[in-house]
Amino acid sequence: MTAQPYKPNFKGDEEPKLKLPEYMILIKEGHYEVNLCKLEGTGKFPCPVCGSVISPDDETEDTYSIVDTKTKNFDLEEITLECNKCKSIHKNTRIKIKGFIE
């Protein structure tokens, strides 16, 4: 399954009212988790709030910023991102990416 763009249907500070893809879950308000083991393709996925495509190939930080990383035995375990496109609307939206280590 590759990232499919969609139109978010929220206004202001409310959570989006859309069905999240199977590789993404809502942990708590404004905090999402993406499981790379369930994501097919090149690792691209849409921001759950604004739909901007978040790609591992983007090194510019125009679309997202890395706010935290966790390692285990020197291997990358998870990364937490913030979408730069919608953070002015949802200031505390965080996307945790897991599945680097199986």
Which pLDDT score, from 0 to 100, does residue 81 have? 92
- The pLDDT of residue 6 is 42
Res 91: pLDDT: 67
For the stretch 53-88, pLDDT in tens is: 999 888 888 899 999 999 988 899 999 999 888 875
Task: Mean pLDDT check: name the lowest of 22-31, 37-46, 87-96.
Answer: 87-96
Which three-class secondary structure string do you get for the chain? CCCCCCCCCCCCCCCCCCCCCCCEEEEECCEEEEEHHHCCCCCCEECCCCCCEECCCCCCCCCEEEEEEEEECCEEEEEEEEECCCCCCCCCCEEEEECCCC
The closest of 65, 87, 69 to 79, measured between CA atoms, is 69
Whether residue 46 is predicted with pLDDT greater than 50 in this model: the reply is: yes
pLDDT for position 7: 45
